Structure 1
């Protein structure tokens, strides 16, 4: 026997039904409407919640790319919002960060509607999404808290440090607006590792050992910096997997869930 979910797929009946609330308006930009798909677990809540951010080199991708991860978390008791954001090169940094911050604000503002516990918020992303998930958390931790803060982060295959990019390289100009020689402060601001302090929330990293797109050393260095400051952090290596392979690694997903449960569900519902 099976249960039918909102978008028409089937799951074994013993799995709790997940309700999907699609195409929720986050914000209107000049040339892009930001939207979210919300996945809600069975039960009444209040639920811990995850802001989920897709990858695509800051220039493409879709929130639907994270549907499998969102469904996995929702079936384990989490409310999940997969969000859209503006793309480079039409919109250079910090447009992507601003849109993800808007997504987090929207999630908090709609906490009652979706039965969300704002004391148990996390972000989760892969590749460019992992970078943005880390950057939201680290930059927010620098500020005086005026709104609910992220309590945990899951970052897969995340670029964490742009400050070692060759000075004249144009590789990231489409995203950061120029070379490091031309935009030195932007390269620092866009690097999550540059914002690491003891106030950062716990972060779980996962990365393919054969990733030839984003060097695993960047995430390892950030993990080590967090650990040295006493911030709870863990690192899972997807052995033999490449950049996309880490996204679909079921063991990485399970380990990330354990980490989130440890940070968000102790004493919770």
Structure 2
């Protein structure tokens, strides 16, 4: 038995039959009693294969470290070849792992794709999940050779520093990944064959040697759209093995790949075009591949692919370590809204509309859902009609419960709120009332401007129509007699939905029933965003993605007036006293008349804009809709 004194306790390394046994985070003090050290050590540690340290194995040291250390420590890994497959969990932070030099301290393993059903992301030698970690003076390698993808380093943590480290392998040597991971490589050596630096991290490689072992690609970044920087190489030297003469700087693993080389020395193995699109020319618009003052025979700025960039001196100044690692991100995620959740505007609702209008119209009475009789009406609420991936869109359906001889016509109802507020519950009173008149009605939820811009909401309403038709048997719906109705912004949407029957750009999928409707009811919804009568401004700009001056073609495209064609359907306009809310209506009627398409106008004089929410106009509105659809469908 050999007793070793360390900096923080006494350990005994047990030798059995001349072979060392892993300690498994137990210490063996002089009294012979085993002490469990798992997760308890918070002082410096020594790992040594010759038995002169605290642990024989790196994995034992990792398991001993206290989670979320109160102060930084160092794990000194003495000279030796450590054949271990290691994983540093996210609970290990504030640790420096220091070796005796890249030629002396070597961490190695040989996993690869196909081995025991392994894939690329299981093949690592070292996996790093923890944050605020530093690695110095060591080699991390994968010796699988040309067996397939074989990762030496898989790094996902944030605030990682690698200094004077060597990374050796072949295909996929280094997986520098993690959407919000920042990784700094200083004075390192990295070698490989294909895509040997790949992933989604923000990584700065400074004064590093990048060595290509075959004709292929150096980088394959998968930078997320919302991240400011991807891979940045500064003052690096690009070298190659003998006979290697056709190497690309990078190709995009994902559409928004970012890779920049600044003041780098490039050997003649770098092809003159520099970059490859991986056979996906659509990435030319989304990738950002750039260089600044590259040197050497491989630096052919004039011959680079036209979709790459040469930075100006002013642009290059922004690539400082402080700015690269500042953590700047675009707030939107892959779904198009802030990663911490899209904003919900609940400012427009029945109560707020009542408080806003009761001063000028003291006699009004808000119509609540509970005030409508449910006699003879069935309901199914909060049904999911569309899966967005991160959430579901819901629909409320109301239908006659009597057993008629033939199916009933349907109405899909769209709430208002300036394309950014409102809720489908505001359509429920009218949906119930019209169900009582013999219609299958559906109040729908759709994406508002703070979640997704135009045309997402249009596509959602069309998908709701398709869903309702797909469930026609359940509700006894006549799929050949379906109208779309909307109020205010919902009226604008309803008109656009009805007048774009069959237009693919507004369809999220070609599967399922048709989204075509046979009639439109527009309650105070504008028909033209840019029009002498229109007063649309900031709120419309938020939904449409810009002002009229910036995107006039979108403002016109989203206006039902500009979508009138022989495929248009009969429409009922129900309006308040305010002309701005029927902008484009009269021009549309002229077009429809010329095509022989029926339209009808009913105006309630002396009314607030959201008249459909209040008595004394609620019941007359229901009556007008019923009369119109009875005429159209018969």
Q: TM-score normalised by the shorter chain: which range applies?
A: 0.7 to 0.9
Q: Deviations over 1:55-108 (max 9, x none)?
A: 111111111101111011100000001100011133110011011111111111
Does the CA contact (< 8 Å) of 2:528 and 2:583 recur in 1?
no
Does the CA contact (< 8 Å) of 1:141 and 1:200 recur in 2?
no
Does the CA contact (< 8 Å) of 1:42 and 1:77 recur in 2?
no
Q: Distance in 2 between matches of 1:240 and 1:47?
A: 35
Equivalent in 487, 512, 520 of residue 126 of structure 1: 487
Aligned position for 2:498: 137
Say whether 1:36 aligns with 2:36. Answer: no
Aligned position for 1:263: 632
Q: Deviation at 1:149?
A: 2.8
Q: Deviations over 1:213-262 (max 9, x none)?
A: x4334323323322232111100001111211255423233112100111
Q: Deviation at 1:206?
A: 0.5
Say whether 1:161 aligns with 2:161. Answer: no
Does the CA contact (< 8 Å) of 1:126 and 1:157 recur in 2?
yes
Query: Which region of structure 1 is more displaced relative to structure 2, 215-224 or 45-54?
Result: 215-224
Give 3-state SS (helix, strand or coil) of 1:251's partner: helix
Q: Which has the larger radius of gyration?
A: 2
Does the CA contact (< 8 Å) of 2:415 and 2:422 recur in 1?
yes
Say whether 1:109 aligns with 2:459. Answer: no
Name the TM-score, length of structure 1 as normaliser: 0.85
Q: Distance in 2 between matches of 1:163 and 1:9?
A: 39
Pairs aligned (count): 251
Q: Distance in 2 between matches of 1:9 and 1:247?
A: 12
Aligned position for 1:152: 519
Aligned position for 2:540: 172
Q: Deviation at 1:39?
A: 0.2
Give 3-state SS (helix, strand or coil) of 2:629's partner: helix
Q: Distance in 2 between matches of 1:8 and 1:56?
A: 22
Q: Deviation at 1:150?
A: 1.1
Equivalent in 605, 621, 624 of residue 252 of structure 1: 621
Stretches of structure 1 lacking an aligned partner (at least 5 in a row): 1-6
Does the CA contact (< 8 Å) of 1:131 and 1:158 recur in 2?
yes
Q: Deviation at 1:114?
A: 1.5
Sort the Cα spacing of 1:160 and 1:148 in 2 relative to 1 into closer, same or farther, 3 A: closer
Does the CA contact (< 8 Å) of 1:38 and 1:81 recur in 2?
yes
Q: Distance in 2 between matches of 1:247 and 1:23?
A: 21
Q: Distance in 1 between matches of 2:492 and 2:538?
A: 19
Give 3-state SS (helix, strand or coil) of 2:568's partner: coil
Say whether 1:233 aligns with 2:599. Answer: yes
Q: Deviation at 1:26?
A: 0.6
Q: Deviation at 1:170?
A: 4.5
Sort the Cα spacing of 1:71 and 1:89 in 2 relative to 1 into closer, same or farther, 3 A: same
Say whether 1:223 aligns with 2:582. Answer: no
Give 3-state SS (helix, strand or coil) of 1:80's partner: strand
Does the CA contact (< 8 Å) of 2:501 and 2:515 recur in 1?
no
Name the TM-score, length of structure 2 as normaliser: 0.38
Aligned position for 1:23: 382
Is the strand fraction higher in 1 or 2? 2
4+ residue segments displaced more than 4 Å: 7-10
Give 3-state SS (helix, strand or coil) of 1:34's partner: strand
Does the CA contact (< 8 Å) of 1:236 and 1:252 recur in 2?
no
Q: Distance in 1 between matches of 2:502 and 2:565?
A: 8
Sort the Cα spacing of 1:138 and 1:31 in 2 relative to 1 into closer, same or farther, 3 A: same
Q: Deviation at 1:148?
A: 6.2
Aligned position for 2:456: 95
Does the CA contact (< 8 Å) of 1:127 and 1:158 recur in 2?
yes
Give 3-state SS (helix, strand or coil) of 1:161's partner: coil
Is the helix fraction higher in 1 or 2? 1
Query: Which region of structure 1 is more displaced relative to structure 2, 216-225 or 102-111?
Result: 216-225
Aligned position for 1:209: 577
The higher relative CO (CA closer than 8 Å, separation ≥ 6) is in 1
Aligned position for 2:128: none
Q: Distance in 1 between matches of 2:589 and 2:525?
A: 11
Sort the Cα spacing of 1:224 and 1:183 in 2 relative to 1 into closer, same or farther, 3 A: same
Sort the Cα spacing of 1:8 and 1:247 in 2 relative to 1 into closer, same or farther, 3 A: closer
Query: Which region of structure 1 is more displaced relative to structure 2, 66-75 or 41-50?
Result: 41-50
Give 3-state SS (helix, strand or coil) of 1:55's partner: coil
Give 3-state SS (helix, strand or coil) of 1:93's partner: coil
Stretches of structure 2 lacking an aligned partner (at least 5 in a row): 1-368, 505-509
Does the CA contact (< 8 Å) of 1:208 and 1:241 recur in 2?
yes
Q: Distance in 2 between matches of 1:21 and 1:83?
A: 12
Aligned position for 1:194: 562
Q: Deviation at 1:172?
A: 2.5
Sort the Cα spacing of 1:111 and 1:243 in 2 relative to 1 into closer, same or farther, 3 A: same
